[in-house]
């Protein structure tokens, strides 16, 4: 039995959840067009839809909310946050944004032209969509082990250096306005990237004079994986490791709704003075004045405190051990997951769990639907619903390598009995999995279809 870690906190305020019956959930989901995003949260018993913006804030952060300075320009809370970001991330400039995708949007609008490409280990959906929205091409160059759900490579989020070099040579550095890496790799299992890989990626980008931006959402979890798994880092603090990671980059995009331990917020950092000028103009147009960038002063204050709490060793130790307990227990119950367990989520390999459902009948969506009906558990499909796109050259539908269902773990929210309940529900589904049926799309938008598409369960023939 894997070890469940002791929470490094006790509970001061609680939020009640509502019990529902299977019959009720069947009706609710049908009404929601079988899209779990369209359910009311109060109809969900355990919400593993996302770890984004769902953290429980600490008493220290709530105290910060009262102290937030709501001045339009030059608020004290902005300067508090600036100091924290400058210490941890070390870039010369930063602007707050309302969340991570706003930082991506600004970066893409300022630096990217139609037809250009942005390489990364693996872009998350919002990053890919922001690149496509201005006519660019998001390019994923993950190491092969990252696409093998059974590989226990310690850093499955690594970017393949050889593929990167070949891609730059083939595309031409003039067609690559910046390069990225996502830490940890959310779209590929929440897997970490090693320090050696971040450094090597940085060296290749810089050899070709390509600016290097880190998608930093889960940088603290990535830093702790480096401490646990990479030689030479066992005695370094998460802060020191984070500082080294960012020292290799020219900037970062950040959704603070993850390792910032806040419910809303993000930022964009950079070293380049000219870029900062353009970013500020874009920010004023889209988000707000550069000292608040779409956030309230109280949000800035909560984030300044949350960033420190997110780097706390006891917290990170508990966080990664909790995810490991959940993942290893699911494996024991016969559920195939992306191994080893990542930082913020467990990803069920729905493609191999439901081999009788082909990719174009969305096995991940089928499993997500069943988890809600059977147990009131909300998850998200990260397979062909989220990531299958027509190839821009051939028009042919490209399916992602894995059909995953993500069970994201909100920070400091759920305890062991919640996880044990999910494990029991999954064991029950495993026992009758051959009865699950494929899914058909009824309606869908052009971009980011998993948020709003509607579905139906394919009738038995
Ligand atoms: C790796 C990664 N990048 C970017 C984003 C976008 O952040 P936000 O949801 O704050 O816009 C997310 C959100 O889940 C993410 O996981």
> Could you tell me the distance, in angstroms and rounded to a whole number, from the CA of residue 436 to the centre of ligand 1?
31
How many other C-beta atoms lie within 10 A of the C-beta of residue 207?
11
Atom from ligand 1 closest to the CA of residue 103? 11
- Would residue 17 count as lying in a domain? no
Give the closest residue (by CA) to ligand 1 atom 15: 124
257 CB near ligand 1 (under 6 Å): yes
Looking at the structure of the chain, the number of domains it has is: 2
Domain that holds residue 31: 22-51+313-457
Kindly state whether residues 276 and 300 are assigned to the same domain: yes
Is 255 touching ligand 1 by the criterion CB < 6 Å?
yes
The 3-state secondary structure of 48-75, one letter per residue:
CCCCCCCCCCCHHHHHHHHHCCCCCCCC
Tell which of 286, 310, 334 closes a domain.
310
> Does 253 map to a domain?
yes
Residues 211, 159 within the same domain? yes
Q: Which of 279, 310, 341 is the last residue of a domain?
A: 310
Determine the pLDDT at residue 290. 97
126 shares a domain with 106: yes
The label of the residue with tokens 């995708």 reads 101
The Å distance, Cα 242 to ligand 1 centre, comes to 19
Identify whether residues 364 and 436 lie together within a single domain.
yes
**Domain for residue 101, yes or no?**
yes
Please report whether residue 4 resides in a domain: no
Going by CA atoms, what residue is nearest to atom 3 of ligand 1?
A: 124
Indicate whether 5 belongs to any domain. Answer: no
Establish if 8 belongs to a structural domain.
no
Are 47 and 144 contained in the same domain?
no
pLDDT digits (tens), the chain, 461 positions: 788 999 999 999 999 999 999 999 999 999 999 999 999 999 999 999 999 999 999 999 999 999 999 999 999 999 999 999 999 999 999 999 999 999 999 999 999 999 999 999 999 989 999 999 999 999 999 999 998 989 999 999 999 999 999 999 999 999 999 999 999 998 888 999 999 999 999 999 999 999 999 999 999 999 999 999 999 999 999 999 999 999 999 999 999 999 999 999 999 999 999 999 999 999 999 999 999 999 999 999 999 999 999 999 999 999 999 999 999 999 999 999 999 999 999 999 999 999 999 999 999 999 999 999 999 999 999 999 988 877 777 888 889 888 999 999 999 999 999 999 999 999 999 999 999 999 999 998 887 788 899 999 998 76
Q: Measured in angstroms, how far is the CA atom of residue 125 from the centroid of ligand 1?
A: 8
Do 132 and 254 reside in the same domain of the chain?
yes
* 163 and 293 belong to one structural domain: yes
Q: Pick from 51, 52, 108, 219 the residue to mutate for probing ligand 1's pocket: most ligand atoms within 8 Å of its CB.
A: 52
CATH code of the domain containing 423: 3.90.1150.10
pTM more than 0.85: yes
Beta bridge partners of 191: 185
**Are 30 and 70 in a shared domain?**
no
- CB of 127 closer than 6 A to ligand 1? yes
C-alpha closest to that of 195 among 144, 244, 140, 146: 244
Residue closest by Cα to atom 5 of ligand 1: 100
Q: Is 58 in the pocket of ligand 1 (CB under 6 A)?
A: no
Write down the H helix ranges in 112-160. 125-133
* Cα 77 to ligand 1 centre (Å): 23
Supply the pLDDT for residue 214. Answer: 98
Answer yes or no: do 63 and 29 share one domain: no
Quick one: 46 and 91 in the same domain? no
Alpha helices of 388-444 — where are they, by DSSP H?
A: 416-431
Q: Would residue 453 count as lying in a domain? A: yes
Among candidate residues 250, 283, 310, the one where a domain is terminated? 310
303 lies in the same domain as 319: no
Q: Would you say the CB of residue 124 lies under 6 angstroms from ligand 1?
A: yes
From the CA of 101, give the closest atom in ligand 1: 11
Give the pLDDT score at 187: 82
Check if 61 has its Cβ closer than 6 Å to any atom of ligand 1: no
Q: Is 222 in the pocket of ligand 1 (CB under 6 A)?
A: no
Structure tokens at 150: 């059974």
Q: Ligand 1 mean position to 124 CA, how many Å?
A: 7
Distance between Cα 364 and ligand 1 center (Å): 20
- Whole-number Å distance between alpha carbons of 409 and 325: 12
Q: Measured between alpha carbons, how far is 290 from 207 in angstroms, rounded to an integer?
A: 32
Residue 139 lies in a domain: yes
Q: Do residues 407 and 306 share a domain?
A: no
pLDDT score recorded for residue 383: 92
Q: What is the pLDDT of residue 62?
A: 98
């Amino acid at each position: 039995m894997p070890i469940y870690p002791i929470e490094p906190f006790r509970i001061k305020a609680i939020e009640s959840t509502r019990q529902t019956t299977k019959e009720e959930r069947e009706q609710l989901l049908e009404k929601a067009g079988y899209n779990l995003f369209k359910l009311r949260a109060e109809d969900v018993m355990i919400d593993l839809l996302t770890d984004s913006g769902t953290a429980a804030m600490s008493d220290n952060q709530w105290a910060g909310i009262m102290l937030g300075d709501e001045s339009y320009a030059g608020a004290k809370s902005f300067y508090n946050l600036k100091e924290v970001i400058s210490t941890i991330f070390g870039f010369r400039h930063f602007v707050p944004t309302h969340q991570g995708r706003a930082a991506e949007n600004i970066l893409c609008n300022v630096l990217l032209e139609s037809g250009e490409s942005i390489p990364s280990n693996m872009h998350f959906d919002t990053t890919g969509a922001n690149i496509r929205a201005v006519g660019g091409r998001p390019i994923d160059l993950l190491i092969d082990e990252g696409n093998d759900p059974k590989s226990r490579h310690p850093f499955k989020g690594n970017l393949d250096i050889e593929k990167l070099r070949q891609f730059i040579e083939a595309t031409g550095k003039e067609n690559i306005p910046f390069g990225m890496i996502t830490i940890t790799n959310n779209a590929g299992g929440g897997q970490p990237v090693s320090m050696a890989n971040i450094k090597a990626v940085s060296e290749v980008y810089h050899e070709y004079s390509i600016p290097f931006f880190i998608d930093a959402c889960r940088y603290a979890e990535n830093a702790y994986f480096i401490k646990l798994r990479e030689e030479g880092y066992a005695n370094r603090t998460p802060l020191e490791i984070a500082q080294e990671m960012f020292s290799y980059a020219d900037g970062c995009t950040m959704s603070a709704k993850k390792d910032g331990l806040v419910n809303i917020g993000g930022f964009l950092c950079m070293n380049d003075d000219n870029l900062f000028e353009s970013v500020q103009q874009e920010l004023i147009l889209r988000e707000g004045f550069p000292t608040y960038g779409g956030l309230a002063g109280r949000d800035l204050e909560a984030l300044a405190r949350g960033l420190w709490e997110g780097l706390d060793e006891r917290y990170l130790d508990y966080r990664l051990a909790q995810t490991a307990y959940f993942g290893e227990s699911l494996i024991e119950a016969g559920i195939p997951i992306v191994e080893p367990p990542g930082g913020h989520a467990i990803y069920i390999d729905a493609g191999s769990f439901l081999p009788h459902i082909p990719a174009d009948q969305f096995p991940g969506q089928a499993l997500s639907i069943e988890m809600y009906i059977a147990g009131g558990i909300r998850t998200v499909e990260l397979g062909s619903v989220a990531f299958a796109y027509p190839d821009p050259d051939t028009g042919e539908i490209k399916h992602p390598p894995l059909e995953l269902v993500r069970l994201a773990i909100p920070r400091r929210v759920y305890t062991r009995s919640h996880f044990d309940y999910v494990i029991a529900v999954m064991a029950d589904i495993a026992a009758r999995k051959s009865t699950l049926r494929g899914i058909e799309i009824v309606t869908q938008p052009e971009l980011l279809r998993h948020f709003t598409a509607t579905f139906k369960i394919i009738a038995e023939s």
